[in-house]
């Protein structure tokens, strides 16, 4: 498929690693080439193997690549599997247990057996230092002898990484700077300092975020070292890495701020959906891969948050607001103690993978259910490489059918498919209905290897009338990497009443943040000079939570107070006459990159045949189409199945599909229900 690319730049490539497949999208000479290969235990090997395969398909040499953008799961895997570094933490004397105490809220209010996650740093590696600061000043400085003694204790603990989180370092970091510098001189391990990672108040969230940064730094460093070595051997450029905020950064930058990569892969998909045109209020993004499904909301821009949790651990850096559930194509169907059929969060992964892969897997998965239901054909090649073994899918589902007391493999397949869709429907409600948004006002943008297969069925449950399946939907996160802007964030808590803050003082704070974020902007392809966007977290005096609003320079405090009042009223339904506090300032540097503009041209046959597929309680003859051969604006009435190399789109009865000039496939429900 040709691509209108305004520049004559050399080829560029994006690579996204998932739990089951590694996706590659390469743009060269106005053409897009895609590849999907099984992920490997050492992700760097799968990444380079897939990249070399894409280069071979595009008939270019790897040395011709201008840039290599990469989204990965190293950080989040280290957190979820608790396979990060042996980490120590240093805190102000008397605050060593902040990490363990956390907040008073419980994970499940009415569950008497609910437990908080085990701290990443046990008590014997939580160290204290005698220092004291207030939000206003340093009360007790740190002496060199304390640093010497502390360095010896940390070295004896066999820690592989260290987090330093002093109580009020967000306001006065002098003690933390001195301590961090001293420990970096004396220890041969990476040291994460809270004033560098998250210069904000609330000691638990700041400590937890800094500890996560320290915990994942060594795995990130090892992974990037292997990847850079393999890339250099192949003549491929040093990778630039997708961050959780939806922006690209240099590998060196994410090594120093590893916590910024915890949602690297899912963020790339949301950013790619932001470029899809829609006539609705926005899009609900639905990225269903092999291991999980990621859901987010895109209105004027992707929704972001600084209040995310990963496996119960708060992470306070800005990131794309994504809700994840353990329901992907490889998610395993099983029967719980009460005899109910469940799906996920355990996944068959890529090795052995779903039973239908024919690699020795015996667990029934969502992909196996799709094979039994006829949505994936017997002759399909998953990812363009793996041939389907339908007999293995039937055998796996027959086993869970017996355990669940169901009639046969078909009944089990129907159950697995419906339970998985119910899990994903709840996830969409979490980012819409639970936040006061009506899902009927949005389109559903489906991508990932398995997303387009379930999208229309889920849209039916939510009364959503339009499903959007963008071009290269099966590798959409990798496609998004080609155009993701470079982005860097910085923040600083000041906690001052707005009426008492002079414009000059605020301007000094903003200038300092601007210098910080601009210092991290690297080279590479970009359009024009980087810009800086400012925001502020504000609240009424006495409140515990803030609302974030845009700040424009030169600043008018009255305009900022009015913007906060409007934001508060929109979120809560009222505004107050109480004084307004400016709590935290934020700055984001954005360096725009060129976005490939796809122009679709049909290639090859459109209709490729028919097969029996299951809809509305029975199998029926269903037309099968080749996505790359469908003519623009040609209506395809359901039931229909539209196949592509990386994904399959299911069009149920009462739905119609059309393809746009840019290759976007749009599904419309024929009559509202």
558-588 residue pLDDT tens: 888 999 999 999 888 899 999 999 999 999 9
Claim to verify: residue 90 and residue 213 sit in the same structural domain:
yes
Q: Which helix (H) or strand (E) holds 271?
A: helix 264-273
Of the residues 397, 419, 441, the one at which a domain ends: 419
Ranking 16-25, 161-170, 357-366 by mean pLDDT, the lowest is: 16-25
Residues 616 and 584 grouped into a single domain: no
- Predicted pLDDT of residue 533: 94
pLDDT (mean) for 82-111: 88
The pLDDT-based confidence of 9 (bands split at 50, 70, 90) is: low
CA distance 307 to 387: 43
Structure tokens at 289: 């891969």
Tell me, yes or no, whether 480 lies in a domain. Answer: no
Q: Does the pLDDT value for residue 379 go beyond 80?
A: no
* Residue 87 shares a structural domain with residue 214: yes
23 located within any domain: no
In this structure, the answer to whether residues 101 and 210 fall within a common structural domain is: yes
What is the C-alpha separation between 108 and 557, in angstroms, rounded? 41
| Strand partners for 549 | 536
User: Is 307 among the domain residues?
Assistant: no
Residue at 41 is within a domain: no
pLDDT value at position 413? 94
pLDDT at 8: 45
Query: By residue range, what is the domain housing residue 493?
Result: 486-591
Determine, yes or no, domain membership for 505.
yes
Burial level of 52, CB count in 10 A (0-12/13-18/19+)?
A: middle
Q: Reply yes or no on whether the pLDDT at 310 is more than 90.
A: no
- 228, 233, 236, 242 alpha-carbon torsion, rounded to 10°: -20
| Rounded CA separation 5/25 (Å) | 15
Question: Looking at the predicted structure, is the pLDDT value of residue 353 above 70?
Answer: yes
Q: Tell me the pLDDT band of 429, cut-offs 50, 70 and 90.
A: very high
Using CA atoms, how far apart are residues 455 and 459, in angstroms rounded to an integer? 6
Does residue 492 form part of some domain? yes
**Position with higher pLDDT, 525 vs 299:** 299
Percentage of the chain exceeding pLDDT 70: 95
Q: Over the stretch 170-189, which tens digit does the pLDDT of each residue have?
A: 999 999 999 999 999 999 99
Backbone angles phi, psi at 443, to 5 degrees: -90, 160
Q: Which whole number is the average pLDDT over 294-321?
A: 86
Are 104 and 215 part of one and the same domain? yes
Q: H or E stretch including 249?
A: strand 248-250
Residues 585 and 617 in one domain: no
- In a shared domain, residues 105 and 206: yes
Write down the pLDDT at residue 109.
76
Q: Which span out of 122-126, 346-350, 494-498, 558-562 was modeled with the highest average pLDDT? A: 122-126
pTM, 2 dp: 0.85
448-484: pLDDT as tens digits = 888 899 999 999 999 999 999 988 888 888 888 988 8
Question: pLDDT digits over 42-70, tens only?
Answer: 889 989 999 999 999 989 999 999 889 99
Q: Mind spelling out the 3-state secondary structure of 590-642?
A: EECCCCCEECCCCCCCCEEEEEEEEECCEEEEEEEEEHHHCCCCCCEECCEEE
First to last CA, the chain: 37
Domain count, the chain: 4
* Whole-Å CA distances, 357 to 99, 283, 381, 384: 43, 33, 9, 12
Question: How far apart are the C-alpha atoms of 475 and 622, rounded to whole Å?
Answer: 26
Torsion, Cα 38 41 43 44, to 10 degrees, reads -110
**pLDDT over 60 at 525, yes or no:** yes
Amino acid 638: pLDDT: 81
* Strand positions, DSSP E, 257-391: 283-288, 293-298, 304-305, 308-310, 313-315, 319-320, 323-325, 331-335, 341-347, 381-382, 386-387
Mean pLDDT for all residues in the chain: 88
Give the pLDDT confidence score for residue 532 in this predicted structure: 95
Of 419, 436, 464, the residue at which a domain comes to its end is: 419
Assign residue 208 the CATH number of its domain: 3.40.50
- What backbone phi and psi angles, to 5 degrees, belong to 438? -90, 110
What pLDDT is stored for residue 4 in this prediction? 47
Mean predicted confidence (pLDDT) in 74-86: 87
pLDDT at 672: 47
Tell me which of 109 and 308 has the higher pLDDT.
308
pLDDT digits (tens, 9 = 90+) for 583-620: 999 999 999 887 777 778 888 788 889 999 999 999 99
Quick one: pLDDT at residue 388? 83
If asked whether residues 85 and 211 sit together in one domain, one would say yes
Q: Are 527 and 580 within one domain?
A: yes
Pairwise CA distance, residues 545 & 550, whole Å: 17
**Tokens, residue 631:** 């003519």
Is residue 5 predicted with pLDDT exceeding 50?
A: no
Look at residue 252 and tell me if it is in a domain. Answer: no
Mean per-residue pLDDT, 370-399:
82
Residue 574 shares a structural domain with residue 606: no
Last residue within a domain, chosen from 419, 441, 467: 419
Sign (positive or negative) of CA dihedral 557, 563, 567, 568 = positive
Question: Do 84 and 216 share a domain, yes or no?
Answer: yes
Please state the rounded mean pLDDT for residues 397-424.
Answer: 93
Least confident of 121-125, 247-251, 273-277, 408-412: 273-277
Angle between helices 409-431 and 451-462 (to 10 degrees): 70
Same domain, 499 and 608: no
Residue 296 lies in a domain: no
Whole-number Å distance between alpha carbons of 423 and 429:
10
């Amino acid at each position: 498929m040709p691509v209108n690319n305004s520049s004559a730049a050399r080829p560029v490539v994006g690579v996204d690693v998932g739990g089951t497949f590694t996706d590659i999208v390469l743009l060269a000479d106005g053409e897009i080439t895609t590849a999907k290969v099984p992920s490997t235990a050492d992700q760097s090997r799968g990444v380079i193997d897939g990249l070399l395969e894409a280069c071979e398909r595009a008939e270019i040499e790897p040395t011709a690549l201008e840039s290599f953008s990469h989204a990965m799961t190293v950080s989040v895997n280290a957190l979820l599997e608790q396979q990060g570094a042996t980490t120590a933490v240093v805190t102000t004397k008397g605050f060593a247990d902040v990490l363990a105490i956390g907040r008073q809220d419980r994970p499940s209010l009415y569950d008497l057996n609910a437990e908080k996650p085990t701290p990443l740093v046990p008590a014997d590696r939580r160290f204290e230092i005698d220092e004291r600061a207030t939000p206003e000043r340093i009360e007790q400085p740190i002496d060199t002898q304390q640093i010497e003694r502390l360095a010896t204790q940390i070295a004896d603990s066999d820690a592989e990484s260290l987090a330093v989180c002093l109580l009020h370092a967000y306001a006065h970091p002098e003690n933390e700077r001195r301590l961090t510098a001293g420990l970096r001189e004396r220890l041969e391990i990476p040291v994460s300092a809270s004033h560098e990672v998250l210069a904000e108040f609330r000691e638990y969230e700041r400590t937890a975020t800094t500890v996560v940064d320290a915990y994942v730094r060594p795995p990130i460093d090892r992974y990037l070292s292997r990847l850079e070595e393999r890339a250099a051997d192949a003549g491929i450029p040093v990778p630039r890495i997708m961050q959780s905020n939806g922006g690209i950064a240099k590998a060196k930058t994410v090594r120093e701020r590893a916590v910024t990569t915890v949602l690297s892969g899912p963020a790339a998909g949301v950013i790619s959906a932001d470029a899809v045109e829609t006539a609705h209020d926005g899009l609900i993004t639905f990225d269903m891969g092999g291991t999980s499904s990621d859901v987010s909301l895109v209105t004027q821009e992707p929704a972001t948050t600084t209040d995310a949790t990963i496996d119960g651990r708060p992470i306070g850096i800005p990131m794309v607001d994504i809700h994840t559930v353990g329901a992907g194509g490889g998610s395993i169907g099983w029967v719980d103690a009460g005899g109910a059929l469940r799906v996920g969060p355990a996944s068959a992964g890529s090795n052995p993978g779903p039973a239908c892969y024919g690699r020795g897997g015996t667990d029934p998965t969502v992909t196996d259910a799709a094979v039994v239901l006829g949505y994936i054909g017997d002759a399909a090649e998953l990812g363009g490489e793996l041939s389907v073994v339908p007999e293995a899918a039937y055998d796996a589902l027959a086993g869970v059918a017996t355990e669940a007391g169901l009639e046969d493999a078909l009944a089990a397949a129907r159950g697995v498919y419906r339970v998985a869709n119910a899990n994903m429907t709840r996830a969409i409600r979490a980012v819409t209905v639970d936040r006061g948004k009506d899902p009927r006002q949005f389109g559903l943008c489906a991508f990932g290897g398995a997303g387009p297969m379930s999208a229309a069925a889920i849209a039916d449950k939510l009364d959503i009338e339009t499903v959007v399946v963008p071009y290269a939907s099966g590798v959409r996160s990798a496609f998004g990497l080609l155009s993701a802007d470079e982005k860097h964030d910085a923040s600083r808590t000041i906690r001052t009443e707005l009426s008492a803050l002079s414009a000059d003082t605020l301007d000094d704070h903003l200038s300092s943040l601007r210098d910080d974020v601009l210092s991290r902007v690297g080279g590479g392809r970009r359009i024009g000079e980087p810009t800086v966007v400012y925001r502020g977290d504000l609240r009424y005096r006495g409140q515990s939570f803030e609302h974030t609003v845009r700040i424009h320079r030169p600043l008018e405090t009255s305009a900022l107070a009015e913007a906060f009042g409007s934001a508060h009223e929109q979120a809560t339904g009222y505004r107050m006459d109480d004084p307004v506090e400016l709590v935290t300032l934020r700055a984001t540097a954005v360096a725009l990159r060129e976005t490939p503009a796809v122009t679709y041209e049909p290639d090859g046959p459109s209709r490729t045949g028919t097969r029996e597929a299951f809809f509305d309680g029975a199998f029926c003859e269903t037309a099968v189409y080749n996505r790359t051969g469908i003519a623009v604006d040609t209506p395809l009435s359901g039931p229909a199945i539209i196949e592509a190399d990386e994904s399959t789109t299911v069009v149920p009865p009462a739905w119609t599909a059309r393809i746009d000039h840019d290759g976007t496939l749009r599904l419309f429900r024929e009559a509202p229900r």
